[in-house]
Amino acid sequence: MDKVKEALKRKRSIQGIRSVVSEILGCGPADMQDFHFNVGNHKFRGIIYLKRNSLMGSLFYFWDNKIGVIKGYPKIKYSDDSRLMNKEVVCEEKVDGCNILVWRFPDGTLGGKTRLTPYWKGHKSYFFKDKTWEELLREADNGKTWLQIEKLLNDKNVIVCGELYGSDLPHDFVKYKAPPIGFKLFDIIDRDTNRFFPPLEALRLADEYQIPRVAVRWQGILTSKEVERIEFELSKSMDIEEGWVAKSYFPDEKDSYFAKLKTEAIKEKCWELTKSTIPMSIIKKAVHKVLENFPELKTIEEYLPKVREELLEDVEEILIEKSMDRIKESIRWTLTPSDADLYKLVLDKMKEMKDRGTDLSNKGHVLSNLSNALGTGISGGKLFMLYQQAFRELE
């Protein structure tokens, strides 16, 4: 990140940002997505970095003509695949909700983003079609949390990282009864250095500014034996807690690193390879995460690679291939297109096939391709009816 920030000082265009990020971070065009927003009288434009590593979700941008960086919040590895084994750690509760980062722009405006979206303004929550993530955060704890975050960001040049959760938001494993919408801070990023605060310092600052924050569950050396003990203990509270996040501050790097510890029962759901397909609960979780982060996508084919990436975090690739029909079905039913929308998907798919030289009168071949594209959730009768309508229009 330090190398990128230094190299960006000499750039004056989005293409210049792309070239720096590509060269230094070793990524391709698909790992970067452009964005452009108006914030008051200012231009906020740049790229969001999408590659799944420690910088995933980072923003490299211009504020008018001044270059800037917002460090993203990475996906967290399991403890046995992390740098934290045999290190002194702080374990915090893992809240089941939507990851939100909040900072202050130079003009004083509060900015925010989810993990893979660059800015919350105008970005509707998938599950609340009439509200943005910004509006939902303003409602947390009856508006008090927003005011306390504002106070912190007035005093400190930091990014507040937390989870938006509650009974009004959909969840995958934990069913919260209260509050309707709440927020819990779990980390703070120093914007001057683009590094995480030590875990306990972040929580201390949250307490100082009266911002709700995650609870500390345990501190100690994270050995394999401790991991087994923790996972056993978590199995007793899986209805009210998804798991823990272990954190350790590395003084030499002046940064914090994380690892997740989930209840054994939930882990088994995530990577149970004895079954021929992935449990639907795990598929739905991956689909919901993609819907939160990429609301502009409309079709199954657009969502499929994103859902695949989410699933690769928890399950083997071979199981994803075996579960492809179930994945497509879950995406289709989550998107819940109307018959008219579904017809358009069929029509567009058949246009593509016709352009490739496919004989659309070959019902078996065309229907098989449509089923693969749309998933098995649509009945054979409806699919055939839509095929006939599209065939008549195209022929």
Which of 52, 70, 88 terminates a domain? The answer is 70
Please say whether the beta carbons of 335 and 300 come within 8 A: yes
pLDDT in tens, 103-160: 999 999 999 998 888 998 765 555 565 788 899 999 999 999 999 999 999 999 999 9
**179 cis-preceded (ω within 30 degrees of 0):** yes
Are residues 289 and 278 part of one domain? Answer: yes
Question: Which of 42, 70, 98 finishes a domain?
Answer: 70
Predicted confidence at residue 271, as pLDDT, reads 45
Residues 137 and 89 in one domain: yes
Residue count of the chain, please give it. 395
Q: Which of 70, 85, 109 is the last residue of a domain?
A: 70
Q: Are 43 and 107 in contact (CB under 8 A)?
A: no
pLDDT at 49 > cutoff 80: yes
**pLDDT at 272 (0 to 100):** 46
CA 268 to chain centre: 22
Segment 221-274, tens digit of pLDDT: 999 999 989 888 887 766 677 789 999 999 999 999 999 987 645 554 444 444
Co-location of 219 and 279 in the same domain: no
**Strands across the sheet with 158-165, in order?**
110-114, 98-104, 158-165, 182-190, 195-196
Q: Is the CB of residue 245 less than 8 Å from the CB of residue 76?
A: yes
Share of the chain above pLDDT 70, in %: 89
We report the CATH number of the domain holding residue 196 as 3.30.470.30
Check residues 254 and 171 and name the one with the higher pLDDT: 254
The reply to whether 296 and 343 lie within a common domain is no
377: containing domain? 339-394
* Contact criterion met (CB below 8 Å) for 55 and 2: no
Q: Looking at residues 333-346, what average pLDDT do you find?
A: 74
Top-confidence residue, 318 or 156: 156
Tell me the sheet residues that pair with 247.
90, 258
**What is the enclosing helix (H) or strand (E) of 47?**
strand 42-49
Whether residue 37 is predicted with pLDDT greater than 80 in this model: the reply is yes
Joined together, the tokens standing for residue 126 give: 């998938």
pLDDT (0 to 100) of residue 377: 58
Tally of domains within the chain: 4
Q: Is the dihedral of CA 270, 276, 279, 280 positive or negative?
A: positive
In this structure, the answer to whether residues 310 and 346 fall within a common structural domain is no
Q: What is the DSSP letter of 213?
A: B
Q: What is the pLDDT of residue 119?
A: 93
- Residue indicated by tokens 């939507």: 98
pLDDT at residue 333 greater than cutoff 80 = no
Q: Do residues 112 and 253 share a domain? A: yes
What's the helix, strand, coil split of the chain in %, to 5? 45, 25, 35
Verify that 79 and 64 share a domain, yes or no.
no
pLDDT value at residue 59? 97
Q: Which residue do the tokens 């054979």 mark?
A: 380
- For the ranges 33-42, 105-114, 258-267, 358-367, which has the lowest average pLDDT? 258-267
- Is pLDDT above 90 for 161? yes
Same domain, 331 and 346: no
Contact 238, 266 (CB under 8 A): yes
Using the 8-state DSSP alphabet, how is residue 77 labeled? P
Looking at residue 318, what is its pLDDT?
Answer: 80
Average pLDDT over residues 156-183: 85
Same domain flag for 84 and 223: yes
Are 353 and 325 members of one domain?
no
Are 179 and 166 a contacting pair, CB within 8 Å?
Answer: yes
Max CA distance (Å), the chain: 70
Q: Are residues 288 and 366 in the same domain?
A: no
Q: Are residues 148 and 259 in the same domain?
A: yes
**317: amino acid identity, one letter:** E
Q: How high is the pLDDT of residue 263?
A: 60
